[in-house]
Amino acid sequence: MGNICRSPSAEAVMQSLVKQQGLEQEIVCDSAGTFDYHRGKPADARMQKHARLRGYELSSISRPFEDEDFELFDWIITMDEDNYQQIKWFDQSNNYTDKIRRMTDFCSSSQVSEVPDPYYGGDQGFENVLDLLEDACQGLLEFVSHKKP
């Protein structure tokens, strides 16, 4: 939603996997929120701390999703049902329905429907988000490596 916890973490995890595979020239990742109340802010300090412990650097700056993102990116990946519905609502003409996916659709180890927002929780919430994102991003990388929108 605000682009300071889950999305920048997903961006960092995905970028790390992309780099490990040598696909930096082919796959570009970015994160955005469905609301702009954290526009221009770095990722939440707690999320940064937990990500750094796993070797991820959360360097993105919060920005809201823009209509142009539908054209700029092949895939629009959401963290939870609220964000999924919000992005679908942004696509009033239903031109980009096939591009919009849920992050948890790509999980192979976890059977969850959403990446929960850790903002109001404790340390375990941030760790859980990273666990889910590591699983989902691996599946997402396999998916985008073999499929075009």
pLDDT digits (tens, 9 = 90+) for 74-108: 999 999 999 999 999 999 999 999 999 999 999 99
Q: Is the pLDDT of residue 148 over 80?
A: no
Q: What is the structure's pLDDT at 73?
A: 97
Averaged pLDDT score across all residues of the chain: 96
Q: What is the structure's pLDDT at 42?
A: 97
3-class SS letters over 57-99: CCCCECCECCCCHHHHCCCEEECCHHHHHHHHHHCCCCCCHHH
CATH topology of domain 6-146: Rossmann fold (3.40.50)
CA angle 140, 13, 63 (to 5 degrees): 95
Q: What percent of the chain has pLDDT over 70?
A: 98
Q: Which amino acid is at 73?
A: F
